Structure 1
Amino acid sequence: MQRLNEILQTIDGYLGGGQWFVFLLLGVGVFFTLYLKFPQIRFLGHAFKVVRGKFDKEGDEGDTSHFQALATALSGTVGTGNIGGVAFAIYLGGPAALFWMLVTAFLGMTTKFVEVTLSHKYREKAEDGSIAGGPMYYMKNKLNAKWLAAIFAGATVLSSFGTGNMPQVNNIASSVFATFGIAQWITGAVLGVLLMFVIVGGIKRIAKVTEKLVPSMAVLYFIGAFSVILYNYENIVPSIMAIFGDIFSGSAATGGFLGATIAYAFNRGVNRGLFSNEAGQGSAPIAHAAAKAHEPVSEGMVAILEPFIDTIIICTITGLTLLSSGVWSEKHQNEFDYAELQVLAQYYDEGNEQHRSQIGSHLVGKEALPLYNGDLQVENGEVQDELTIIHMRSFAEDMVINKDGTPYTGSIAVENGSFVDDSYIINGKSLVHSAELTTIAFTRGFFGDFGKYIVSIGLLLFAFSTAISWSYYGDRAMTYLAGSKSVLYYRLVYVGAFFFASFADTAIVWTMANIAIVLMTVPNLVGILMLSGDMRDTLKKYWVDFRKEWPDSK
């Protein structure tokens, strides 16, 4: 599993981890923001009126209301990216990574506006009578690029597993196990049955579930988050200063956190920002295509609200919770993950600033340090060799190696810094990330240890709703590729993968998600750039028609 993760990380390094992807994503957002004259600011108020149904007409064609489409799309984005993804970004890039998440969201508001408008404009009716839409339909019907549409649809199916399915249940099962002690596979089995019950009803049942689930889970999560932020009120201003103060300097080493460069914080912040709000990925247009509307731009207006709610509001609250509580830079007792474990050939003293700087440079890929090859000598669970073990990008402390339930004594083979045998249970202190870190943060507030239950319940609702929505994205893609009859088989595989991922390796799941995001996003960004003129003309026509029909409204 560790070798597989290394291969996947190498692939991700060229795709989502590459600077080209970050600049493509932001570049498209900047282009449309300027080209359409900052629609995310000018149309924000109008978007709230549209989602309330103020301009709806009798006989508008579609399967869902504006609000249901928004709730479905939000349920697809408000998930582990908001709870675990923010923690992962800060763990990698420090507080400055959150700033770049917010920048990505601001530009993403325009990108969502464009992709949803175009997808809604060129939607179709499927052979079973349901509405089928998404970027693959504008690629086919307007660009006459069936090959590009096929690539996007195939990537959507893959991404439904890598983004909406596997990371979601993995975080749920891990959090429930940490909080309640329930085995991951049991959580996966129970939720798998519930997932199948919901998704067999199609978009109408999905919309009915999500329109009730999204507001409820948001209220619960906000209560827990503000209980931490207000409890640590003296850290609010320093936290905000850290977010914006480290933008052009990189995040300095603090506690167990060994620092991050400007480039690393920028790259990871943008990457996690996309994972959170999915702007440009082309997923939300599939949900919005089902909305009732007599023209496409109004649904694009609704989509402007998604990155605003998902990232600018919810992710900021999560970030302030992590930073104000101080848990992001502290080491915590945990069971070590082999994919995050690395043995260095030399001894480095954490108390030595030069050594900390060397390790920090090694972790961000600036200057690689030699890895250990040979046998570790272990006595009563403790490593006897004078070397350095890194776990979760930090110096491992108080490490105890167990075998068959007792502290191990003997030798352990290591190749290129990795354990050859992964059957040992290793416990110790290190940094942690993802949902586990957010769970710890929620215990540092007015609710104390009870706060972890809020995260577990919130994560369960957030992530489960994301899995529901992504099943719909995948089945629309399958409808495009192989017709409506293929959807049943897709749903069966989707639920099976959902169960399997509940006890799969966390790091591998996250890496797979990163790769799937890129494979889906690039064709969509290329497509909307090719249709920039179409988008501009469609928007102009919308306002001409709107002013005729609603002369007293804005």
Structure 2
Amino acid sequence: MDSFIEINEMINGFVWGWPLLFLILGTGIYLTIKTNFVSFTKFGYTMKQTLFKIFSKEQVGEGEVTAFQAVATALAAAVGTGNIAGVGTAIAIGGPGAVFWMWLAALFGMATKYGEVVLSIEYREKTESGHFVGGPMYYLDKGANKKWLGVIFAAFGTVATFGIGNMVQSNSVAASLNTTFDIDPLVTGIVLAIAVGLVTIGGIKKIGQVTEVLVPLMAAIYFFGGLIIIVLNIELVPAAFGVIFRDAFTGTAAAGGFVGSTFAMTIRFGIARGVFTNEAGLGSAPIAHAAATTDHPVRQGLWGIFEVFIDTMVLCTITALVIVMTGAWESGFDGAALTTVAFDKGMPFGGHIVTFGLVFFAFSTLLGWSYYGERCMEYLFGEKSIVLYRIIFIPLIVVGSVGGLRVIWSIADTLNGLMALPNLIGLLLLSPVIARLTKNYFGENGIYEKEKQ
């Protein structure tokens, strides 16, 4: 079994290597240009239509959940351990300079996520039971006429949810609660499984109702906790930014417990962990957005821009600044442990913020990815297969909490990366559709011009 995991880790290193990272970044750059830089030129309008309408009850068009409930579900899946452990790993291996490349990937990733969401609305379908379904498998099938790629994506997505969206999350929570409060991992797993089961049985509507409350709450607690540390050590902020920008182009020399990194490592882990945190290009988020109530694909696409901005440019930046400015990155710790050490250095009981953040973030990720898995399973085998999926998914939460089935965990991480390949192909093939819908919305006589009048 160990040898199988080692072989898979070698494959995983290739999957998450330079070719995929260049493809993800290149697709983001291409779509940014193709959409006439809408993620930058219309950023103010995007915030007006998203951030300032989070709690608005006004809904136009048709759908199954509100626009914010859809993005909250997507954020619930994206805003997870990646924001805490992923940033810590990027800095621990790539040095502080990795943060710059994480930012760069996110800036272009906003156009990628925007394109994914636009296509998910354009090609979504309504099932016989009245549910709205969509995502890469549907726009690959109906839009690009590549059903085989849709099947591949759905197959990769189904299995990947058991690892990255399930056991990785429950294991992180169980380990953190065991370390901080000496809670038995098995107890944590059982409680998590029951909680997730109670929510997911209600489908996207119930998940949306929970996440629209949970996501703003957990993000606010973590954001303000990190912000307090930054304010208390405000004199260290300029130096922290200086280290990030300097090391982004030089790599990082060994310091303290940090073993040093090359320029190539800095770029690779910055981009890879950036994608891991905001999921732009993976094709997961548009599955949730497909159920949103909206009158135009672009209107919901703006929430995709918002999603990447909040996830990486705000929450990940908070984590990164605390790690760099407190000097914790030189401690030799990695992942969530590094972030915990940094918050503890920043203020008394700061590590508890990370612990509670992990609990809420991981729980929300379990909810979001369970929905992704259900939709992928449904695409492959029909609505009746959803019950079977839940029978497998929920017990694995307990298995993950006690560290079991590492082989599934390892394979799922690889398949998570492979999900991106068919999705990126679909985005490139359907880029003219994304451009046309963008022009339709922002062009003459479009919704944007009418709203200005």
Cα pair distance change 1:264/1:58, threshold 3 Å: closer
Cα distance in 1 for partners of 2:159, 2:26 equals 25
CA distance, structure 2, for counterparts of residue 506 and residue 326 of structure 1: 36
Q: Which residue of structure 1 aligns with residue 102 of structure 2? A: 101
CA distance 1:142–1:56, shift in 2 (3 Å):
farther
Q: Is the 8 A contact 1:167 1:513 kept in 2?
A: no
Other-structure match for 1:254:
255
Is contact 1:233–1:324 with CA below 8 Å preserved after alignment? no
2:394 to 476, 481, 495: 495
- Deviation of 1:196 after TM superposition, in Å, equals 0.5
> Which residue identity lines up with residue 8 of structure 2 in the other structure?
L
Change (3 A) 1:127 1:460: same
The CA distance in 2 between the partners of 1:10 and 1:118, in whole Å, is 33
Q: CA deviation at 1:2?
A: 5.0
Q: How far apart, in 1, do the equivalents of 2:435 and 2:319 lie?
A: 36
**Contact 1:124/1:132 (<8 A) preserved:** yes
Are 1:324 and 2:325 an aligned pair? Answer: yes
Map 1:434-445 to 2 at 5 A.
434-445=335-346
Match of 2:93 in 1: 92
Q: Structure 1 residues 182, 164: CA separation in 2 closer, same or farther (over 3 Å shift)?
A: same
1:513 Cα offset (Å): 5.2
Give the count of matched residue pairs.
Answer: 451
How much does 1:511 deviate?
4.9
> 1:530 offset after TM fit, Å?
0.5
**Pair 1:143–1:205, CA change in 2 (3 A):** same
1:227 to partner: Cα distance: 3.1
1:473 corresponds in structure 2 to 372
Q: Which SS does the other structure have where 1:21 is aligned?
A: helix
Q: 1:59 to 1:278 in 2, by over 3 A?
A: closer
Counting only pairs closer than 5 Å after superposition, residues 533-544 of structure 1 correspond to structure 2 as 533-544=432-443
1:29 pairs with 2:28 = yes
Report the CA distance between 1:510 and its aligned residue. 7.2
> What is the match of residue 78 of structure 1?
79
Closer/same/farther in 2, CA of residues 8 and 120 from structure 1, 3 Å limit: same
**After superposition, where does 1:369-518 map in structure 2 within 5 Å?**
431-446=332-347, 448=348, 450-504=349-403, 511-512=410-411, 514-518=413-417
Per the alignment, residue 413 of structure 1 pairs with: none
Gap change, CA 1:311 and 1:511, over 3 Å in 2:
farther
What's the RMSD between the two structures over aligned residues?
2.2
Tell me: CA distance 1:241–1:58, structure 2 relative to 1, closer, same or farther (3 Å): closer
For residue 193 of structure 2, what is the aligned residue in structure 1? Answer: 192
Superimposed CA distance per residue, residues 437-473 of structure 1 (whole angstroms, 9 cap, x where no aligned partner): 2112221133x1x222221111100111011011111
Give 1:87 deviation, angstroms: 0.3
Tell me how far 1:271 sits from its aligned partner: 0.8
Letter in 1 for 2:438: L
Map of 1:281 onto structure 2: 282
Q: Is the 8 A contact 1:82 1:315 kept in 2?
A: yes
Runs of 5+ in structure 2 lacking a partner? none
C-alpha distance in 2 between matches for 1:190 and 1:320: 33
Determine if contact 1:153/1:481 at 8 Å carries over to the other structure: yes
Q: Counterpart of 1:289 in structure 2: which amino acid?
A: A
TM superposition score normalised by structure 2: 0.94
Asked if 1:180 corresponds to 2:181, the answer is yes
| Higher radius of gyration, 1 or 2 | 1
Q: Say which structure, 1 or 2, has more relative contact order (CA 8 Å, 6+ apart).
A: 2
Equivalent position SS for 2:434:
helix
Code of the aligned partner of 2:214: L
Q: Which residue of 2 aligns with 1:312?
A: 313
Q: Distance in 2 between matches of 1:276 and 1:53?
A: 22
Residue of structure 1 in register with 2:301 after alignment: 300
1:256-277 deviation per Cα after TM superposition (whole angstroms, max 9, x unaligned): 1111111111111111111100
Separation in 2 of the partners of 1:510 and 1:268? 20
More helix by share: 2
CA contact (8 A) 1:229 1:325 kept: no
Give the equivalent residue in structure 2 for 1:50. 49
Alignment of structure 1 residues 58-73 onto 2, 5 Å: 60-73=61-74
Contact 1:57–1:294 at 8 Å: present in 2 too?
A: no
Deviation by residue 1:275-294 (Cα, 9 ceiling, x = unmatched): 10000111110111000112
Letter in 1 for 2:434: M
Q: Residue 226 of structure 2: SS of its match in structure 1?
A: helix
Partner of 1:122: 123
Deviation at 1:552, TM superposition (A): 4.9
CA distance in 1, matches of 2:419, 2:277: 15
Q: Which amino acid aligns with 1:37?
A: N
Name the SS for the 1:280 alignment partner: coil
SS in 2 for 1:14: helix
Which runs of 4 or more aligned residues in structure 1 lie more than 6 Å from their structure 2 counterparts after TM superposition?
A: 53-59, 505-510
Q: Which has the higher strand share?
A: 1
Partner deviation per Cα, 1:161-190 (whole Å, 9 max, x = no partner): 232212211111111111001121211111
CA distance in 1, matches of 2:410, 2:86: 12
Supply the distance in 1 between the matched residues of 2:182 and 2:176 (Cα, whole angstroms). 9
Q: Is the partner of 1:522 in helix, strand or coil?
A: helix
1:541/1:234 CA distance change after superposition, 3 Å: closer
Q: Distance in 2 between matches of 1:54 and 1:324?
A: 34
Answer whether contact 1:162 1:516 (CA < 8 A) is retained: no
Identity of aligned residues (%): 44
| Contact 2:160–2:413 (8 Å) recurs in 1 | no
* Cα distance in 2, alignment partners of residues 549 and 307 from structure 1: 22
8 Å CA contact 1:86, 1:318 repeated in 2:
yes
CA distance in 1, matches of 2:346, 2:252: 25
Give 2:280's aligned amino acid.
Answer: A
Change (3 A) 1:6 1:58: closer
3-state SS of paired residue (2:384): helix
Cα separation, 2, equivalents of 1:53 and 1:95: 33
Q: 1:279 to 1:544 in 2, by over 3 A?
A: same
CA distance in 1, matches of 2:103, 2:405: 25
Give the equivalent residue in structure 2 for 1:20: 19
Stretches of structure 1 that go unaligned for 5 or more consecutive residues are 331-430
Bigger mean CA deviation after superposition, 57-66 or 308-317: 57-66
User: Would the aligned equivalents of 2:442 and 2:449 in 1 still touch at CA under 8 Å?
Assistant: no
CA contact (8 A) 1:169 1:188 kept: yes
**Residue 5 (structure 2) pairs with residue 11 (structure 1):** no
SS in 2 for 1:282: coil
